[in-house]
Amino acid sequence: MPSPLPSRASAAGPVPGRYDRFLILGAVCLAGLVLPLSFTAPPVAIPAIAAELGGSPVALNWMTNAFMLAFGSCLMAAGTLADTYGRKRVFSIGIVAYAIVSLLLALAPSLAVLNGLRIAQGVAAALALAGGNAALSQEFHGPARIRAFSLLGTAFGLGLAFGPSLAGWLVQTQGWRSVFLSSLAIALLATVFGVPRMRESRDPDAAGLDWRGSLSSTAMLALLTIGVLEAPERGWSDGWVIAALIGSAALLALFVRVETRAARPMLDLSLLKYPRFVGAQLLPIGTGFCYLALIIVLPVRLIGIHGLSALNAGLMMIALSAPMLVVPFLAAVLSHRIAAGTLCAAALLLAAAGLVWLGVEAAAGSVHGLIAPMLLIGAGSAVPWGLMDGLAISVVPKERAGMAAGVFGASRVSGEGIALAITAAALAGLLQLRLSSAIGVDGATLTQAAQRLATGDAARAQALLPQLDAAALVHSYDAAFAWLMYGLAGLTAAIAGVVFALLGDASAHEPAALAEPARDDRIELADEPAC
């Protein structure tokens, strides 16, 4: 396949020096750290928020769901905005708006106001992430780019992994409002140190925002997110869940129809012909099954089922998260000798082996025996986590970097949400099978008990099933948890095989040759104001 023509970049301002580029990278990585913190940290503050502001369980859960809904559904449109109106401008608007909304969240007088602000925070986060990723791809090239995106992936993973621990400490020592003030502080650092040093860049061929494509894609992703978020609680057969998923499928068909007819679509559907582009979108789904799902279900098992304190459970979870501090950098070094796609596939297989090991230990009722397989899973997950952002950007021509960042962000959020929903539904289903075989009956009470046990509420589950003692409930949970691990291992291994087939020789060092032979792969650079 022919390579794209060399970039004829022009800049009205000076090229940032090494120190300025380092600050730009630091600013985008701070954004990459604070955005997942916004997803994982606030749920820890729910009890404290409920004590002060009140609210039903459903309303309290929407404090998390509102952010995820807005964030996931706006990412693709945000990427198009970055390509059209400038990556620096979109990042600047997003990170400043994120800081302002974080301050307002810390001052929220009611739960209704807080949930509304969480929607605004999700939109701002989408702008910051899509604009920041695209801007980063313009400042770093060759081996430096893969190192930069490895650091960004590490920051994202650390935000997911350590967000609950940070939030727990803040809530306990400073109150729940300090959780949002910490996000404000990090966003201000990113704004002050990064934005003034960025150069503006955009797609020179952009013909304005594809409004029909943007609206249909945002609505499609919103309905998909609603269906995925509500399915574990309502059930997959619930009317609202089915309606949301059907509506999402219909809007997807509309989106494809709109994009195939648009002169300058927000998503170039012809990119789906390229295996590398498709393979890059599968990586966050793989890490969703082998890593992110464990961040959710492991604390439930450790605290709710085996009675560990929150502090001890948090210390054990470090085994899963600690590899994120080191492994992405090692992966960046190895990628100079081994293709990044091959590394990612091999690492996912390593994580799958760790999941099998974790299942064996769980079936035996072990607690501390989980530490070694957690380290193996964390190490295997950290490789694609550190490389997949760079791969997602590198497999498209540089002038569509914002589009690539938006598509990959939407794929990541949607894929991870689906992975979490499947994991939650599978655990509840496996628990229902184990409990049914233990007592020999089935029914609504058993279903409710299984759902309670899946969320770590062993006391309520035992109250619903008095014929089972606490030891029998724990044994049933451990057996179901083990089979869940085996299932996640199988899914992770299958994704690893597909990733290797599609992405095996792909490198995150240089852009793939996806452009037409006669296409001018230009990047317009202008030293323009941020906003």
**Running DSSP on this structure, what letter comes out for residue 456?**
T
Which own/partner pairs from 41-44 qualify as long-range (CB within 8 Å, at least 24 positions apart)? 41/163, 41/164, 41/166, 41/167, 41/170, 41/179, 41/182, 41/183, 42/67, 42/118, 42/167, 42/179, 42/180, 43/164, 43/167, 44/163, 44/164, 44/167, 44/168, 44/171, 44/179
Contact criterion met (CB below 8 Å) for 121 and 38: yes
Give residue limits of the domains in the chain.
1-208, 211-263, 271-510
Q: What's the CATH class of domain 271-510?
A: mainly alpha
How many Cα atoms are found within 13 Å in the side-chain-facing hemisphere of 227? 22
Contact criterion met (CB below 8 Å) for 389 and 149: yes
CATH for the stretch 1-208: 1.20.1250.20
pLDDT (tens digit per residue) in 35-67: 777 777 776 777 788 788 887 656 776 777 788
User: What b/e sequence results for 180-192 when a residue is b if at least 16 CB atoms lie within 10 Å of its CB, and e otherwise?
Assistant: bbbbbebbbbbbe
The shares of helix, strand and coil residues in the chain, as percent rounded to the nearest 5, are 80, 0, 20
Tell me what pLDDT residue 223 has: 83
- The residue type of 346 is A
Q: Average pLDDT for consecutive 10-residue bins of the chain (531 residues)? A: 36 54 81 77 75 74 76 77 82 92 92 90 88 76 71 75 75 84 88 79 64 78 75 74 89 84 69 77 89 82 79 79 82 82 92 96 90 94 81 66 67 73 81 80 73 76 80 88 95 94 65 40 40 36
Closest CA to 341 of 278, 396, 398, 273: 278
Tell me what pLDDT residue 405 has: 66
Q: Identical fold at 1-208 and 271-510?
A: yes
pLDDT (tens digit per residue) in 418-458: 787 788 778 888 888 888 877 766 667 777 788 777 777 77
Distance between CA atoms of residues 66 and 119, nearest Å: 5
Please name the residues in contact with 474: beta carbons below 8 A apart, sequence gap of 6 or more. Answer: 305, 306, 365, 458
Distance between CA atoms of residues 123 and 91, nearest Å: 12
